[in-house]
Structures are given as C-alpha cells and as structure tokens.
Amino acid sequence: MTRSEQPRLAVTIAPGLELANPVMPASGCFGPELGAIVDLDHLGALVTKTIFLNPRSGNPAHRVTETHGGMLNSVGIPSRGVGAFVDELLPRYAAYRPPTIVSIGGLSIEEYFDVADRLADVPHVAALELNISCPNLEAGGLEIGANPHHVERVVRGVVDRVQVPVISKLTPNVTSITDIARASEAGGAAAVTAINAIVGMAVDLRGRRTQLGNNTGGLTGPATKALALRMVWQVARAISLPVIGVGGICTAEDALEFLVVGATAVQVGTATFTRPDTMLRIISGLRAWLAREGVADVRELIGSLQTGPAGHGLAAAHGRHATLAVNDYGAGTQNTRRSGRR
Ligand SMILES: Cc1cc2nc3c(=O)[nH]c(=O)nc-3n(C[C@H](O)[C@H](O)[C@H](O)COP(=O)(O)O)c2cc1C
C-alpha cells in the first residue's frame, strides 16, 4: 500500500449487506437525534432500539446506575410499538445513507413472528437483529436466548417471514454461548451479534436496598470488554457466520481487538453516552491504525488471532505482551506491559 492509498474499511456482514466500514451503534444506545451532533452518514450501519409489537413502558425507577468501568441499566426497553416505529421513527433513520438494522423483541416466540410480519415488506429495513435477551413470559420469564431450542425456533420463524438478513443477538447470560450461536446458525441466521448486557446488581448499603428498581440490570461498558472478547472469540470459532462484536468498545484499538478475535464488525453502546462522537473517532482511528501498520484491507485482521504463548504473533508484533507471574501455590497474576509504541 502506497502512502496516498487509503486502507479499505468495507465489510460484508450478511449476503447483500456490505457496510462502508465495520462500526455501528449498539441497539438502545443510539437514536436518529444523535444526527444533530454527529454525522451519521459516516457510520457503517444504524441499529434501532429494540421494538416490540405493542407499546410498552419500561421498568420502575431507578433505571440506571454507574459501576466501576461501566453502567447497570434496567431500562426494560420501553417501546412505542411496531406501528409507530414504521410510521414515525423509521423514516428518520432512512434519511441517512447507512443501512438500518431494525432490532426486534418479543415476550413470546409468537410476538417475534408478529413483529417480523409487520416489517416484512417495509422499505428501508436492511436487516433484522433479534434481541433474544427478552424474557419469555410463556416459559416462566427465562430469556428466550438461553434455550437453544427456542432460539432455533424463533430464528427460523423470522427467517421464513422476511427477505432481509436476520441477525441473532446473543445473550451472555448462559452456560454455553456457543450452543446458542449454533442454534442461531441452524435456524438460518445470516450473522450473530455478541454480546448483550450481562445481568448484574448494585446495592445501596445504607438503605440495604438494591439500587435499581428492577433489582437487577444489564452491566455494560469497559468493565465487560474482556468477557465480550472471549465470547466473540469462542462464537467465531464455533460457527461459520459473520460475528458482530459488542461489549465495552471505546477506542479503535478495542474495535481492532474484536476483529482480530473473529468479529467482522463491531457495535458501540455505552461509550456513546460518555462521548457522542466515539463511533466516528473509532472509524478514523481504524483508518489511521491500518495505514500506520501497512494493512491495506481491514478484512485481513478478521480472525487473525495467533494463539499460543504470550510474546508471539500479533501481540508481540505490536509491542504488547503479557507476563504471568506464578507464585509457589500456583496462583497467577497477570501483568500487561505496553511498549509505548501506540
Ligand atoms: C441504556 C441501554 C439500553 C439498551 N437497550 C438495548 C435494546 O433495546 N436492545 C438490545 O438488543 N440491546 C440493548 N442494550 C445492550 C447494547 O446494545 C449492548 O449489547 C451492550 O450495551 C454492550 O455494549 P457496550 O458495552 O458497548 O454498551 C442496551 C444497553 C444500554 C446501556
């Protein structure tokens, strides 16, 4: 690559769905109103907040609290319903150049099908992302996404109803995320997104109460990145579909790490709340990093992880490595050093 050439950032996340670059918002952490301060035409795609069939209010207050390196939310996904979405909100997304991925949810498997039916022939819907972290009220409130049989059924049912690619967004609140990824693939998903928020809680010690009105909430932000990276890596190896990585991404380097472990694209959620222009900074950071490293095409990085002893492969190539100090009892402490080259 010569100095004047720009690295190629385009990626394909599903058949017929090529993005100008691999960066998009995470569902629920973005709305078209961000367009007033950020040029949304530069994003790879737009992703809507999860919509349900009918209007619903969210959870009781308090709905959000800060944690070390992240936040807990129990917003509970308020929704104006699919009708109002199609009539009033979707046109605001369609005004922008990037394709719109519509996130849909349901409190029963049939509700996903009903929402999919309503969206099947609607223009400007480039793909559906299934938020399968919703409680299945017909199965005692367990997340639909925790049961591989339910996941395969819901994915297949939606795939059968729409022409656009269907992306299954995996919940991390399971014993084996790879089983859920495989069920999504078996159901006909075109891609998977990993991961949704991790169930956590926060305590108001003086009041001996939970801080969130719903008792528990979803942990997101930088505190979750290591877990999300591990899950994306496992999922990318378990299935042959593109993976969209999400969880704690704040910088171009974070995004690059997700690509290296196997993600084809990334989503950014919580970081946008602290800096609305985070996604644009990540895109320009990706471009600068690739140019500096002489990588002509971002796709060269996807799944390029070298496993094996620390100090080898890409980590060493970029001057970053880990030492494992093992004490007499076999317990280890991980010390990460940076060379200062970045
Ligand atoms: C306030 C808030 C609302 C969210 N709403 C949704 C939603 O409607 N649908 C969904 O699939 N995920 C939702 N999420 C999860 C995010 O899409 C994303 O998976 C998660 O925040 C991890 O990414 P992050 O660490 O970059 O925030 C929400 C997250 C937050 C913080």
pLDDT tens-digit map of 110-130: 999 999 999 999 999 999 999
The ligand 1 atom at the shortest distance from the C-alpha of residue 64 is 1
Q: Give the Å distance between the CA of 251 and the centre of ligand 1.
A: 17
Average pLDDT, the chain: 89
Calculate how far, in angstroms, residue 29's C-alpha sits from the geometric centre of ligand 1.
6
Size (the chain), residues: 342
Residue 299 Cα distances to 52, 63, 94, 98, 335, angstroms: 34, 39, 27, 19, 30
On whether residue 286 sits in a domain, the answer given is yes
- Give me the residues of the chain with pLDDT under 50, please: 315-342
Q: Is residue 158 part of a domain?
A: yes
Does residue 4 fall inside a structural domain?
no
Q: Are 8 and 249 in contact (CB under 8 A)?
A: no
Tell me, using a 6 A CB cutoff, whether residue 77 lines ligand 1: yes
Residue 284: closest CA among 36, 17, 103, 23: 23
Six-digit token string for 88: 């009033």
Q: How far is the CA of 183 from the centre of ligand 1 (A)?
A: 22
What's the pLDDT score for residue 213?
A: 85
Catalytic residue among 134, 146, 241, 305: 134
Whether ligand 1 lies within 6 angstroms of the CB of 268 is answered as yes
Choose which residue among 23, 27, 168 to substitute to test ligand 1 binding: the one with the highest number of ligand atoms within 8 A of its C-beta: 27
Range of the domain at 18: 11-305
Tell me, yes or no, whether 189 lies in a domain: yes
**What's the CATH number where 42 sits?**
3.20.20.70
Which of 309, 305, 322 is closest to 243 using CA atoms? 305
Q: If you measure from the C-alpha of residue 24 to the centroid of ligand 1, how many angstroms do you get, rounded to a whole number?
A: 12
Q: How far is CA 232 from CA 8, 87, 196, in A?
A: 23, 35, 11
Q: Is the CB of 198 under 6 A from ligand 1?
A: no
- The residue whose CA is least distant from atom 3 of ligand 1 is 28
Instruction: Identify the residue whose C-alpha is closest to ligand 1 atom 12.
Output: 27
In a domain, 324, yes or no: no
Q: How far does residue 28's CA lie from ligand 1's centre (Å)?
A: 5
Is 29 a residue of the active site?
A: no
Amino acid at residue number 128: L
Q: Which ranges of the chain would DSSP assign to H, the alpha helix?
A: 82-84, 90-94, 109-119, 148-161, 177-187, 225-238, 252-261, 270-274, 278-293, 313-317
Residue 11: its H or E element: strand 11-14
Burial group, residue 337, by CB count within 10 angstroms (0-12, 13-18, 19+): exposed
Number of domains in the chain: 1
Q: Is the CB of 249 under 6 A from ligand 1?
A: yes
Q: Which residue bears the tokens 């490595």?
A: 321
Q: Is 29 in the pocket of ligand 1 (CB under 6 A)?
A: yes
CB 199 less than 6 A from any atom of ligand 1: no
What is the residue with the minimal CA distance to atom 31 of ligand 1? 270
What's the pTM value of the predicted model, to 2 decimals?
Answer: 0.90
Residues 136 and 146 sit within 8 Å (Cβ to Cβ): no
pLDDT at 337: 32
Whether residue 332 is contained in a domain is answered as no
Say if 65 falls within a structural domain: yes
Tell me whether residue 291 is in a domain: yes
pLDDT value at position 310?
64
What would the pLDDT profile of 250-269 be if each residue is shown by its tens digit? 999 999 999 999 999 999 99
Rg (CA), the chain: 20
Q: How far apart are CA 214 and CA 211, in angstroms?
A: 9
pLDDT confidence of residue 24: 98
